[in-house]
Structure 1
């Protein structure tokens, strides 16, 4: 049986807050999201995670016989990514954008974030709104 978990406490700080699918029978874990130290879809032996505490997340399989569906949209972003996008946009608006800036903006044109319960493309926000999102979203400590 596959169990979805979010790690709440761990000896390894990279694990805290990460989301995993755990197969107890195979003693394997697959990373769905982690801030650092692990990549999405990375599979590891359960023992590699060491000692940790977790909260269980609901996982719905196709064999449940229930109609309907679930949608999970997990975005793990680093503050630096949004700051780079914002700086590239500032240079673009000032007319000093490089080819690298243009490529960065094009590659992230569909980057969607949540603002007050609504989904919005990050580059559709004004620079002031982008700064506000970064300030409100990323904190130094919990």
Structure 2
């Protein structure tokens, strides 16, 4: 069980009843829940909380949050982006590519997508696999 605090009295209305994990060794507080003004998982200096009164709160089932060792790669794109990359690659392989085609493929060389639970670079897929991903991912209606 992790020990946290719930702020019960403060002059800052955004902090009232919020729940925090306090890390005195790093002089930081991590927000777990707040009605407004603070976001879950936001880290602030303890001094930013100002003067307050609190009560201890046991937090069950939560693991301490450790920094480092995590990587998140989020790409938000539309169907046309993938189609444009795939068509440029087709022209490159056919030997009819323009400089724009080479630029499109180069600019998107690190574009990573999820396929069957694995992350893979879109350009690493065969053209057939790219077409399959586009067909399965983007639908006109449900």
TM-score bracket, shorter-length normalisation: 0.5 to 0.7
Structure-1-length-normalised TM-score: 0.55
Structure 2 distance, partners of 1:89, 1:74, is 23
Map of 1:60 onto structure 2: 41
Give the TM-score normalised by the residue count of structure 2: 0.55
1:72 deviates by: 4.3
CA contact (8 A) 2:75 2:111 kept: no
Which residue in 1 is equivalent to 2:122?
Answer: 122
Rounded to whole Å, the distance in 2 between the matches of 1:117 and 1:134 is: 16
Q: How far does residue 139 in structure 1 lie from its aligned partner after superposition?
A: 1.1
Aligned to 2:24: none
- Structure 1: which 5+ residue stretches go unaligned? 2-22, 27-57
Q: Which runs of 5+ in 2 are unaligned?
A: 1-13, 15-34, 46-63
Aligned residues: 90
Moved over 6 A (4+): none
Deviations 1:7-42 (A, max 9, x none): xxxxxxxxxxxxxxxx9449xxxxxxxxxxxxxxxx
Three-state SS of the structure 2 residue aligned to 1:103 is helix
